[in-house]
Structure 1
Amino acid sequence: MTYVIGLISGTSVDGIDAALVDISGTDLDLKIELLAGVTYPYPAELRERILAVCAGESISMAELAELDDAIAIAFAQAAQNIQNGHKPASLIGSHGQTVYHRPPGEWRMGNGEWGIGKKTTPYSRTDAITCVSTTPHSLGYSLQLGRGAVIAHLTGITTISNFRAADIAVGGQGAPLVPRVDAYLLSHPQEGRCIQNIGGIGNVAYIPPRRDNWLEKILGWDTGPGNSLLDLAVHHLTAGAKTYDENGDWAASGTPCHPLVEQWLNQDYFHLPPPKSTGRELFGVAYLHQCLKDAEIYQLSSADLLATLTELTAASIVQNYRTFLPQMPQQVFLCGGGSRNLYLKHRLQILLQSISVLTTDEVGLSADFKEAIAFAVLAYWRNLGIPGNLPAATGASQEVLLGEINR
């Protein structure tokens, strides 16, 4: 048994999720026990700096270095604090803070955003956005701040970091990276399952019944917006007084505008076949502003707007399933912050009809800390020399060891 700390801050930039995990086994015999799970909020000033960079604000290299250091220090403090009352961990897996993600095969769009698709099919709801470059990037690029070397130095614990780089180097998206972990922890002998993470961005792992070469049939991709547009809208509607809609109560008091949802579902990303990944570079501030502009003619109340954006998240997830899965699952298990949005969960259940919508809590894996647990496992595998990516999910040409070792 090995004590490992998993650390991650997602695209919502709410804070650092830290999980102290007792891990044993390797893959099919993998066992984990969550000993402690805590979310450590970022200091307000640091969070605002991160969000500004994610939104495309220009900063100097010196400022970028300072931000990288500040995030690493915050992650190191989280790793130290999560061990209080427990025996020391021997390994840390830190995903860091993603501030930029560009999947492979993208063009720079005329509005400054990145898009995926053919030049003749602009990556937007309108024809006004055209491509600047006619040559797609053959490799992706993803930047996570919070250097593992600094975390290792400050904690004195071997730290695995920069998990996405190795997958991207062999042609992968670098995301999602958790389907392989989900497969070994959440598969079922008879039932097909979707493990749907709803952070700032949504991602799914489709896990067929555990039989007949089941590992070769696992799929995974980013489904589109999770909480990103909802949180941005709440911040906009309350002039910064609130950052999220607790339990989805505000949205639940409104009525979705279905014509708007249908319009938004024409967005190219939703129709792009997996493997695919996305981030705030698409579903961010500029996207919300376009949504607000689209909604003007419907004269929606604030509650109606939130209900409509919530419906977009739910409907895009279901559309992804119906379009790209070989068959619909018997069960869907939610995790991430969005799993606590009761209205979103309700809308998913309505749209998925007879398919059960549950949370991973109900099968013994913390919905709040599943992603942090996953990076603890990925670090554990890296330390043992076990590949962590799943080429069917990321599009990589081969399985590779994920993460750089910092001692």
Structure 2
Amino acid sequence: MKVIGLMSGTSVDGIDAALVEIGGTTLDLRVELLAGATYPYPAELRSQILAVCGGAKLSMLELAELDDAIAGCFAKAAMAIQADLPAATLIGSHGQTVFHRPTTPGAMGYSLQIGRGELIAALAQITTIDNFRAADIAAGGQGAPLVPKPDAYMLSHPREHRCIQNIGGIGNVAYLPPNSQPDWERQICGWDTGPGNSLLDLAVAHLSDGKLTFDRDGAWAATGSVCVRLVAKWLAQDYFRAAPPKSTGRELFGAEYLHACMADATADRLSDADLLATLTDFTASSIADSYHRFLPRLPDRILLCGGGSRNLYLHRRLQHHLPKIEIATTDDAGINGDYKEAIAFAVLAYWREREIPGNLPTATGAKQAVLLGDVHHLQ
């Protein structure tokens, strides 16, 4: 089956679209990327999304219009990615997260992704599956991270203990023990490690007066010096000490959090480059710290994906904190790191169509494995 995966993360960089051919089910899963591309949001729409993620108030009419606008962009991305290629018969759309409230003891979580699947299906004329997080949350889970199960069947190894570390706006990890071990799936775990690019991108936009949206290759940060004392202070935040399963988003690691970090940096007289170096190390340190705290053992290899995997300075800082572990990218294991998350949602849609549960309770905290996603067939 040819499936299109659509994903826009917390960085709101644009819509990642992946056209993939999928066969098999789980242990025999076969995934081939036929085409991948990122389609930027119009600047005004991106600004509106970021404002809403930052807590801006909307009327119901404005929310409906934003929902429609995002769905329209997702549908255009789906149609564009398969131009001159064999047509897909299914779309798996993550949508755009605008709010995420983690599940806590005694209180069900809430996660809102807009860009409604029924409109994508109508515009693209392809059956669309969306709203993947709701069923896991209803089963008592966090609704995140959802990629550990696709990761497990695309990227596990018969002998290696691996961590698949996505660094998007938020970082998340999937720990994969060797798949030759008995009952290996029950040993998989995963969680949101904390900030990925979210604070860095906000800082770069602020320091460049909006001329830049990210620090390409980490080149700006690489000219600065890390303030170790501030990194240690920021790591004392409660989220990093909380045991998995856990999830987070811009609601915690967003503009307000950055303002506090910048106030600390000003008090310590850090230069702009020093601030970026320190924020970069904060992301790397939060990943390494969570591995030491919560993994059953350190991995043999870490495979990076997402936009942060292209940040050379961030890669160096992570290697600094985990010196004995080989760090590569998912590209080295045959899965394109730029589109790995979009590919994962194509797989989740494929599994939903075949009535195969898509969540891993060991990663999300759900009471049981459940079917993920709402199916919108063509009328």
TM interval, shorter chain, is: over 0.9
Report the Cα offset of residue 403 of structure 1.
0.1
Aligned counterpart for 1:184 among listed residues 139, 153, 172: 153
1:269 aligned partner = 239
1:197 maps to a residue whose letter is N
Q: Give me the whole-angstrom Cα distance separating, in 2, the residues matched to 1:291 and 1:255.
A: 15
Cα deviation 1:18-43 (Å, max 9, x = unaligned): 00000000000000000000000000
State whether structure 2 residue 97 is matched by structure 1 residue 98.
yes
Aligned ranges 1:1-400 → 2 under 5 Å: 2-105=1-104, 138-210=107-179, 211-400=181-370
State the one-letter code of the partner of 1:280. R
- How far residue 137 of structure 1 moved from its aligned partner, in angstroms, is 5.6
Q: What CA distance in whole angstroms lies between the structure 2 residues aligned with 1:189 and 1:158?
A: 35
How many Å separate the matches in 2 of 1:314 and 1:271? 16
| Structure 2 residue ranges without an equivalent (≥5) | none
Counterpart CA distance in 1 for 2:264 and 2:233 is 9
Unpaired stretches in structure 1, ≥5 consecutive residues: 106-135
- CA–CA distance in structure 1, aligned partners of residues 182 and 359 of structure 2: 21
Please give the alpha-carbon distance, in whole angstroms, between the structure 2 residues aligned to 1:392 and 1:213.
Answer: 13
Q: CA deviation at 1:239?
A: 1.1
For residue 277 of structure 2, give the secondary structure of its aligned residue in structure 1: helix
- The corresponding residue for 1:122 is none
SS at match of 2:369: coil
**For residues 90 and 212 of structure 1, what CA distance do their matches in structure 2 show?**
35
- Structure 1 segments, 4+ long, off by >6 Å, are none
Shift of 1:286: 0.2
Measured in 2, the distance between the counterparts of 1:45 and 1:277 equals 29
* 3-state DSSP of counterpart to 2:328: strand
Identical aligned residues as a percent? 67
- Displacement of 1:361: 0.4
Secondary structure, aligned partner of 1:344: helix
Q: CA deviation at 1:212?
A: 2.0
Moved more, 137-146 or 380-389: 137-146
Tell me the distance in 1 between the aligned counterparts of 2:192 and 2:316.
21
How does the TM-score come out when normalised to structure 1?
0.92
CA distance in 2, matches of 1:13, 1:297: 30
Alpha-carbon offset, residue 155 of structure 1: 1.0
Separation in 2 of the partners of 1:329 and 1:52? 38
- The CA distance in 2 between the partners of 1:297 and 1:70, in whole Å, is 42
Shift in Å, 1:294? 1.4
CA distance in 2, matches of 1:50, 1:41: 13
Normalised to the residue count of structure 2, the TM-score between the two structures is 0.99
Distance 1:309 1:16 in 2: 25
Paired residue secondary structure (1:26): coil
RMSD: 0.6
- The one-character-per-residue Cα deviations of 1:251-285 (angstroms, maximum 9, x if unpaired) are 00100000000000000000000000000000000
Distance 1:89 1:188 in 2: 29
Q: Deviations over 1:279-312 (max 9, x none)?
A: 0000000000000111222100100000000000
Matched residue SS, 1:282: coil
